[in-house]
Each structure stands twice: as structure tokens, then as C-alpha cells.
Amino acid sequence: MSTVKSWLKAARLRTLPLSLSGILLGSFLAYSESVFNIYIFILALMTTIGFQVISNFANDYGDGVKGTDNDERIGPVRALQSGEITPSQMLKGIKICGGLTLIIALLLIFVSFGCENIGFSIIFIGLGLASIYAAIKYTIGKNAYGYNGFGDIFVFLFFGILSVCGSYFLFTHSLKFSIFLPAISVGLLSTGVLNLNNMRDRESDKKSGKNTLVVKIGEEFAKYYHYYLLISAFLAALLFTTINYNSWQQFLFLLAFVPIFQHLIFVYKNEDPKMLDPELKKLALSTFLFALLLGLGQIF
């Protein structure tokens, strides 16, 4: 029988800091240009939380019914896997969460654009629907793209580019090329978290037919790919700060890369997939810290 505790577990609230990183940074960047609206900020956070919970529910359902979540999986036991929530209950939860999130997203779009910018509203309604669809299709269905190695692209685009640039646009109604650099950084770091998760689960995913990018390229190349993601994120942030340099505070984000580079060393030396599990939390929180420090550096 499902309980509130079971649903909170399925929502995986620990994943929220990572998903909120892009919204936080995009809002800071808008604020640095003296453009900010507290209602847009709150509604953007709520919308993103909704998207993340939908994704977590869908991931739990998709991996559960496909048998990917089994005793060989290293990570925490999922709700369907444990029997705390039935497949039909989870599907209902996805539909309810999807409906509520869509309502909040529409309110966000109205507060941002009003009745004057119908074109922008239509574009963002399309992006909102695409976000919900992408969150669900990650693991659900015969052609779930998470099972074909395309999850990394989804995370990069939605957690990075759309999250940072989209939230910035909601405030400013404009977009600068340089904003794509921090968006790329957040996207690459978020993709790094997914890659780390897939490195941890490589063996069980392979046996279950979940052909993530890690399964396709193998453990050794997955590590090289991981180095590329995190180092490229650092370089993009460094380039953005150099281009927009005004004060030394803008380099505060470097502090977030201390644990990130320590993490890289750990991954380089590690040979036991089980040891990667605690690193997921470290990298996710480091990404949130990066977004916070880079954003604060822009407004000091």
C-alpha cells in the first residue's frame, strides 16, 4: 500500500538541487542586469520541481516494469521495485503531477509575457509540453530514448540550455550569446551526473537491455567522456567570466570546482562501480554550488 512516505521516496527530492541549478543561475544572470520578478522566480522553481518529479516517477515506472530495477542494481531500491507503489498508481501519479505542472507552467508564462507577447507564450508552451514529454519518454515505452543512449542529450538540453537560457529569457525577454556559456557549463555538469549514474549501473543496465551511452562505449571511454564533460564545463564558465569580467568576485565559482576536480581524481583511480554511488551526491551538490557562486559573482 502506498503512503506519503512512499511517494516522497519515489519523488527523489535529493535530485532537486541539480535540477534547480539552471533556474537559479538564469535568475541570477537576469538580476545582474537589473531585471527580476519574484513571482517569475518562484513559479519557475515550482515548474522545474514538477518536471523533475515527473521524470523521477516516470523513471521509476519505466525501469520497474522493464525489470531494469532488480537486485543487481547498485543504487537505492525504487518504489515499484519494492512494491510500495503499484504500476497503475505510479501512472496515475505521473498524470496528476503532469497536469499540475502544466497549470503552473501556464501561469508562469502568463506572468512573464502577459497578453502582449503571444508569440513568446506559444514558444514556451511548446517547450513546456516538450519537457513533460521528454521526462516521460526517457524510460517509458518501447522506444524510450534512455534505453538507446540518448539520455545525455536530453539532460544537456533541458537541464542546461533550456533551464538557464529559458529562465533568463522569462525575465528579460531577450537572449545574449554569452548566456549560452554558463548554460553549457550547467548542462555538461548535469550530464556528468547522469554519466556517473550510468557508470555505476553499467553491468546491470547491460544485462537488462538498457543501452545507455556508457554501455555502448564501455567503462574506459566512459571515464574519458566524464573528464571531458567536467573539464569543458570549467572552461566554458572560465570563458564566460573572462568575457564579462568586472571584479574578482566573479571567479568565486572556482571554489565549486575544487570538489569537482577531487571527484575527477577519484573516478580516475576507482575500479569498483559501487564506490561511485556516494559521488553522485557530491557532484550534484557541487553543480548547485557552482550555479550559486557563479550567479552571486555576477551581482556583487
Three-state secondary-structure class, residue 140: coil
Alpha-carbon separation of residue 36 from 44, 133, 241, 260 (angstroms): 12, 29, 21, 30
Radius of gyration, alpha carbons of the chain? 19
pLDDT at 71: 63
- 208 Cβ contact partners less than 8 Å away, ≥ 6 residues apart: 66, 67, 68, 70
**What are the grid coordinates assigned to 170, written together?**
522569462
Alpha carbon of residue 181 to chain centroid: 17
With CA atoms as reference, report the closest residue to 237 among 165, 198, 291.
291
pLDDT in tens, 89-144: 988 999 999 999 999 999 999 999 998 889 999 999 999 999 989 988 888 877 88
Using alpha carbons, list the distances in angstroms from residue 195 to 154, 202, 226. Answer: 12, 10, 7
Where residue 290 falls among pLDDT bands split at 50, 70, 90?
Answer: very high
What confidence tens digit (pLDDT) does each residue in 218-235 have?
999 999 999 999 999 999
Say whether pLDDT at 215 is over 90. Answer: yes
Helices (H), ranges, 138-276: 151-155, 163-172, 180-200, 202-208, 213-243, 257-269
Q: Across all residues in the chain, what is the average pLDDT?
A: 91
State mean pLDDT over 250-261: 97
Residues in the chain: 300
Query: What average pLDDT does the segment 12-29 reach?
Result: 94
Question: Tens digits of per-residue pLDDT, 177-186?
Answer: 999 999 999 9
Instruction: Give Cα separations from 264 to 29, 64, 198, 203 (angstroms).
Output: 28, 31, 16, 21
CA–CA dist 6, 118 (Å, integer) = 41
H or E stretch at 143: none
Q: How many CB atoms lie within 10 A of CB 72?
A: 12
Q: What grid cell was written down for 112?
A: 512573464
* Pairwise CA distance, residues 219 & 161, whole Å: 27
Q: How far apart are CA 129 and CA 136, in angstroms?
A: 11
Is the torsion defined by CA of 12, 101, 30, 186 positive or negative?
A: positive
- What pLDDT score does 191 carry? 97
Q: Is the pLDDT assigned to residue 75 strictly greater than 70?
A: no
Phi first, then psi: give them for residue 11, nearest 5 degrees.
-70, -20
